[in-house]
């Protein structure tokens, strides 16, 4: 996909995502705001309606208390004369008085429930009706007859449902004005909750309210269609067109069952505001789209088209056909893109120059490698030959195409897989030098001994291994000649030493016979001291000759690879180790050393047994790789070696016993560059550290790669 198309897709995705996010947020905010405004409007009307009812209750309750604690009302019940009743009716319970008091019905009873006086206006308030039975039932009920004592007198105000509709009722015990006597009856005032009453509060509330026992909204509530208003639990609302209907609960007069206030308020302004906000969002989206189109066209002209022009010009650049005297990339302007074009021109010039130099260097290196006196091979991961220099081609008699894709093992004998690691492995990352243990074999059977070295390289865009085999045939022939001459000298030395020892043995035997001869007791007695001195000198000569025999055996044979486990086992073979514990902590591997190295282990263990003391109980032998060297440790818990003798124990002639000795042990190890020291603490045991440098040990494949090498 081109940058222009990719940029367009990215910008389009960003635009769609951004607009979707803006739309989602805007719609959510608008909806939440509209919902909140509607809830606030409904809650306000409901709260005002409840407040209006509470106001009516307070006013009606105050009026009821005033009349119930009036002496005329008290005398009406206590003095039940016809004149008194007629007077009370005519002066206090006429239509004008009730209209002025905003009272629609009055009921006065004694404590037994007998009606003393009553008035019940018609709904049009023009005439009187008989007191409804449901009102009489309330008046004579136990609810109003409780707590009528003077100390605990109480009043009650609330909404009741009558046959004419809902009404607000208030009652109070009838007592004298000075509160000097117990209640004698009950006074009930009531007011209809009709349209006329509600209209009185509509101007204050802002909307009209309706009281109902089971409004249709409650069915909606049970069906889950009503939503709560805010976080309240007693207010609900439902929206229909431009109006919202709200509901809240109030208690009836006896607190038996809930009643509901229903209000209907217009949200037309909120809807208009919501529509205006939606149109604003749509306009914002259209402006954003237009801005996106203009921005993309500008971006395409100023950046994308110029970058595409640079890309097309770069594709036409060729090292063989590009004339560096002229800029291969040209673009108008003096901004960053023009600077980029100038930078590309400079990079192209440098790159073409470097490529030409690299080609010349590669040609030179190929000529050098092709004419090297060593055998040079390059092979890949499958051990197939990728390249062979002229030396290899001449030796094998095969051309490069014939050698390619053939295995290196077709031409190399006596080699191991460890000598030829696969490219890309940890072993191949290190340059390796091996002893002349391999032979290069031609198809005709001709063999050439060689020393192998390998290193990982990159060849033809793949990981490969460079194999260099140095011809050491002449060196090996010289080595064999030296070895043969050394053998002959050793044989001559052995014969001479043997003859001298035979003569010394004969002389010592004759001296012994001379001392034992009874006829020469006088001579023997006179010369016994001289004879013993001669015997001591001959014994010393014998020890020196035997020492030269041991020293002569050092380095007589070529060093070999010896297993660590085999080395320790041979060193322990001829020793009595039953009385102590020998612990081993060894790793699997081999050491390149003189064949007498096992005698070194034997000597160290024998010295421990001989000089360790009575408290010697344990000898620990371990082998581990430390940094890039292999260290063999032999430690015991014997008496140890004093500090002043740590270097002297490796000197010739040190000690009381003749034999191999630590002097010869150090000489054997030094043949292949191995060192030995004693690092123990006196009275805490001896500690011999044998250090094998890199290249003289190899660890098996189970060990961690890279800790040792050949």
The three-state DSSP-derived secondary structure of 361-426 is: HHHHHHHHHHCCCCEEEEECCCCEEEEECHHHHHHHCCCHHHHCCCEHHHCEECCCCCCCCCCCCC
Tell me: the pLDDT tens digits for 455-508?
888 887 788 888 778 776 666 666 665 665 566 555 556 656 666 766 677 777
Residue 658 predicted with pLDDT over 50: no
Tens of pLDDT, residues 257-287: 678 888 888 777 777 777 888 888 888 888 9
- The β-bridge partners of 161 are 166
Chain mean position to CA 79: 97
Query: What share of the chain has pLDDT > 70, as a percent?
Result: 75
Strands (E), 86-205: 105-110, 115-120, 156-162, 165-174, 185-192
What local confidence, expressed as pLDDT, does residue 516 receive?
64
Q: What is the rounded end-to-end Cα distance, in angstroms, of the chain? A: 54
Among 556, 554, 549, 553, smallest CA distance to 482 is for 556
**Residue 628 host element (H or E):** none
Q: Which residue has the higher pLDDT, 545 or 36?
A: 36
Q: What's the CA gap between 67 and 112, in Å, rounded?
A: 20
Q: Which residues pair with 376 in a beta bridge?
A: 468
Q: Which long-range contacts (CB under 8 A, 24 or more apart) does 569-572 make?
A: 570/598, 570/601, 570/602, 571/598, 571/599, 571/600, 571/601, 571/602, 571/604, 571/605, 572/601, 572/602, 572/605
Q: How far apart are CA 235 and CA 50, in angstroms?
A: 12
> What letters, b where the CB count within 10 A reaches 16 and e where it falls short, cover 416-440?
eeebbbbbeeebbeeebebebebbb
User: β-pairing, 581-585 with 618-626?
Assistant: parallel
pLDDT for position 52: 83
DSSP secondary structure letter of residue 554: T
Structure tokens belonging to residue 652 = 């010739």
Mean pLDDT (whole number) for 320-338: 69
**Residues 372-415: tens digit of each pLDDT:** 778 888 888 777 888 888 888 888 888 888 887 788 777 777 65
The Cα 379–Cα 230 span in angstroms is: 81
* Mean predicted confidence (pLDDT) in 437-442: 75
Residue, of 128 and 661, whose pLDDT is higher: 128
Q: Name the token pair of 686.
A: 């001896």
Give this prediction's pTM. 0.41
pLDDT mean over 301-322: 72
Average pLDDT over the chain, rounded to whole? Answer: 77
């Amino acid at each position: 996909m081109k940058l222009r198309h990719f940029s367009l897709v990215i910008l389009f995705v960003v635009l769609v995502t951004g607009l979707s996010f803006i739309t989602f947020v805007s719609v959510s905010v608008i909806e939440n705001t509209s919902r909140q405004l509607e809830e606030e409007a409904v809650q306000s009307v409901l709260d005002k309606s409840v407040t209006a009812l509470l106001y009516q209750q307070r006013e009606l309750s105050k009026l009821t208390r005033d009349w119930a604690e009036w002496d005329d009302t008290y005398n009406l019940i206590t003095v039940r004369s016809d004149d008194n009743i007629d007077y009370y009716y005519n002066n206090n319970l006429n239509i004008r008085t009730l209209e002025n008091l905003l009272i629609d019905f009055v009921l006065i009873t004694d404590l037994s429930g007998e009606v003393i006086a009553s008035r019940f206006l018609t709904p049009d308030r023009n005439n009187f009706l008989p007191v409804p039975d449901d009102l009489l039932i309330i008046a004579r009920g136990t609810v109003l007859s409780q707590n009528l004592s003077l100390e605990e007198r109480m009043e009650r105000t609330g909404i009741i449902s009558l046959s004419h509709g809902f009404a607000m009722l208030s009652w109070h015990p009838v007592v004298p004005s000075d509160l000097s006597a117990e209640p004698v009856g009950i006074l009930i005032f009531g007011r209809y909750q009709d349209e006329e009453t509600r209209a009185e509060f509509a101007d204050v509330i802002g909307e009209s309210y309706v009281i109902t026992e089971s409004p249709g909204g409650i069915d909606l509530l049970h069906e889950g269609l009503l939503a709560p208003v805010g976080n309240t639990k007693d207010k609900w609302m439902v929206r229909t067109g431009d109006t919202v209907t709200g509901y809240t609960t109030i208690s009836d007069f006896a607190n038996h069952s809930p009643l509901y206030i229903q209000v209907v308020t217009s949200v037309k302004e909120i809807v208009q505001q919501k529509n205006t906000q939606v149109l604003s969002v749509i306009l914002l989206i259209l402006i954003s789209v237009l801005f996106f189109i203009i921005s993309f066209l500008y971006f395409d002209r100023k950046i994308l088209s110029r970058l595409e022009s640079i890309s097309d010009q770069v594709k036409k650049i060729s090292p063989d056909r590009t004339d560096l005297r002229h800029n291969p990339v040209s673009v108008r302007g003096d901004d960053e893109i023009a600077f980029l074009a100038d930078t590309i021109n400079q990079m192209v010039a440098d790159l073409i120059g470097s490529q030409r130099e690299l080609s010349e260097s590669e040609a030179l290196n190929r000529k050098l490698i092709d004419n090297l006196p060593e055998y040079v091979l390059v092979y890949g991961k499958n051990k197939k030959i990728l390249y062979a220099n002229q030396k290899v081609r001449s030796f094998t008699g095969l051309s490069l195409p014939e050698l390619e894709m053939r295995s290196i093992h077709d031409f190399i004998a006596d080699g191991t897989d460890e000598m030829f690691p696969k490219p890309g492995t940890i072993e191949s990352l290190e340059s390796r030098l091996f002893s002349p243990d391999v032979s290069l074999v031609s198809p005709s059977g001709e063999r050439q001994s060689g020393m192998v070295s390998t290193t990982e390289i990159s060849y033809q865009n793949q990981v490969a291994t460079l194999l260099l085999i140095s011809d050491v045939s002449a060196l090996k022939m010289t080595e064999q000649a030296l070895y043969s001459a050394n053998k002959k000298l050793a044989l001559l030395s052995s014969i001479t030493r043997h003859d001298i020892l035979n003569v010394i043995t004969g002389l010592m035997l004759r001296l012994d016979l001379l001392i034992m001869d009874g006829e020469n007791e006088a001579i023997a007695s006179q010369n016994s001291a001289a004879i013993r001195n001669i015997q001591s000198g001959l014994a010393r000569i014998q020890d020196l000759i035997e020492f030269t025999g041991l020293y002569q055996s050092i380095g007589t044979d070529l060093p070999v690879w010896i297993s660590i486990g085999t080395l320790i086992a041979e060193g322990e073979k001829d020793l009595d180790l039953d009385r102590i514990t020998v612990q081993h902590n060894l790793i699997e591997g081999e050491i390149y050393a003189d064949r007498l190295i096992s005698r070194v282990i034997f000597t160290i263990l024998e010295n421990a047994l001989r000089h360790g003391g009575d408290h010697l109980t344990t000898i620990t032998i371990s082998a581990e790789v430390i940094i890039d060297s292999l260290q063999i440790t032999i430690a015991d818990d014997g008496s140890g070696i004093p500090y002043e003798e740590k270097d002297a124990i490796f000197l010739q002639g040190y000690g009381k016993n003749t034999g191999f000795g630590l002097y010869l042990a150090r000489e054997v190890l030094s043949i292949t560059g191995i060192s030995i020291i004693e690092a123990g603490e006196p009275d805490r045991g001896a500690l011999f550290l044998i250090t094998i440098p890199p290249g003289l040990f190899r660890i098996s494949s189970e060990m961690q790669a890279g800790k040792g090498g050949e």
